[in-house]
């Protein structure tokens, strides 16, 4: 993959085989569905011919390989060195992960009125309760509610909550996500 990529780590992925990317017989990548989403994994030339005839769409497979980062673009590429069919697909039995989103205003008015403190309190509270990995915290621009600064909006599925204290946010998330 060239010297511009730096190796991040080895990976062991299990998921559902979604097919190949490329011309028939000349594919370079396989598509894999994992609970976090879909990935493309580069397949070395020596594995391509055997995989093309043995893998079945929808089959559960295990991919061993490495992940590499391009520091200039920030993109991560996955490269397999072994692909093995496992037969069982637990992905279909997993409930869909509903990840919550917390949007915290980072414009000057909110920051002056405690926006940084709100953000750090929120991160600390979520970390203490083990919820930090179930939430996406997004820094936003003005939310057009400057009179009630600092502003924070919590979205869980289709529900939206405003003017919520960090402790209340953690309790709310525990009720919805656990």
Residues of the chain with pLDDT under 70: 1-8, 23-25, 87-98, 177-178
What pLDDT is stored for residue 158 in this prediction? Answer: 78
What pLDDT is stored for residue 94 in this prediction? Answer: 46
DSSP the chain: --TT-EEEEEEEEEEEEEEEEEETTEEEEEEEEETTEEEEEE--HHHHHHHHHH--TT-EEEEEEEEEEETTTTEEEEEEEEEEE-S--GGGGSPPP--EEEEEE-SHHHIIIIIHHHHHHHHHHHHHTT-GGGEEEEEES--S-GGGPSPEEEEETTEEEES--HHHHHHHHHHHH-
In this prediction the pTM is 0.45
Predicted confidence (pLDDT) per residue in 54-80, tens digit: 888 888 999 998 888 877 777 888 899
What pLDDT is stored for residue 19 in this prediction? Answer: 86
Predicted confidence (pLDDT) per residue in 26-43, tens digit: 788 889 888 878 889 998
């Amino acid at each position: 993959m060239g010297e511009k990529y730096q190796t991040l780590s080895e990976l062991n992925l299990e998921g559902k085989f979604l097919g190949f990317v490329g011309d028939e017989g000349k594919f370079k990548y396989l598509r894999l569905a994992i609970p976090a989403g879909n990935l493309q994994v580069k397949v070395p030339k020596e594995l391509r011919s055997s995989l093309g005839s043995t893998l079945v769409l929808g089959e559960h497979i295990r991919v061993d390989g490495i992940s590499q980062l391009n520091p200039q673009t920030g993109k991560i590429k996955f490269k397999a060195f072994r692909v093995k069919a496992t037969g069982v697909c637990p992905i279909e039995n997993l409930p869909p992960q509903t990840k919550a989103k917390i949007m915290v205003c980072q414009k000057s008015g909110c920051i002056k009125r405690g926006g940084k403190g709100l953000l750090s309190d929120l991160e600390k509270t979520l970390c203490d309760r083990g919820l930090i990995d179930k939430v996406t915290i997004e820094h936003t621009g003005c939310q057009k509610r400057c009179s009630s600064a600092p502003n924070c909006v919590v979205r869980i599925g289709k529900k939206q909550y405003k003017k919520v204290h960090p402790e209340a946010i953690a309790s709310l998330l525990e009720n919805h996500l656990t």
